[in-house]
Amino acid sequence: MRFKLIHENHNVVDLDRSLAFYDQALGLREVRRKTAADGSFIIVYLANDQSDFEIELTWLKDHPEPYSLGDEEFHIALSVDDFEEAHALHEKMGCICFENPEMGIYFINDPDGYWIEILPVRQAGNR
């Protein structure tokens, strides 16, 4: 039996803001969308051509307030081929929330507070 990772869900308060953030910060774009007939939810899947893995953004009509993310200890990780360029972009966007220079990594926050680890390609292969 073999399992394949396919997506991770993030519930979001403002879908348009989140779509813009993931596009600008990570180059992830909408690949498909599901909208409830009654308008109660919208699910958007984001991806790029670097991986089959997707991020699923879920907007719920009846949940307009921010989600509780607990201690924010969970995260997804993305490797990047130009770490310095990515860091400069994220610094300009003001979304870097934690840096660990000793490990050569940093984290960004999406608009809803989800943490995203950014690491150079050379480190990603060593995990």
Task: Please list the active-site residues.
Answer: 117
Tell me the H-state helices in the chain. Answer: 15-26, 83-93, 121-124
Q: Which of 112, 110, 89, 87 is nearest to 99 (CA)?
A: 87
Distance CA(65)–CA(13), nearest Å, equals 7
- 3-state SS class at 101: coil
Bridge partners of residue 64, in order along the sequence: none
Q: In what order do the strands lie in the sheet with 7-12?
A: 7-12, 54-60, 41-47, 29-35
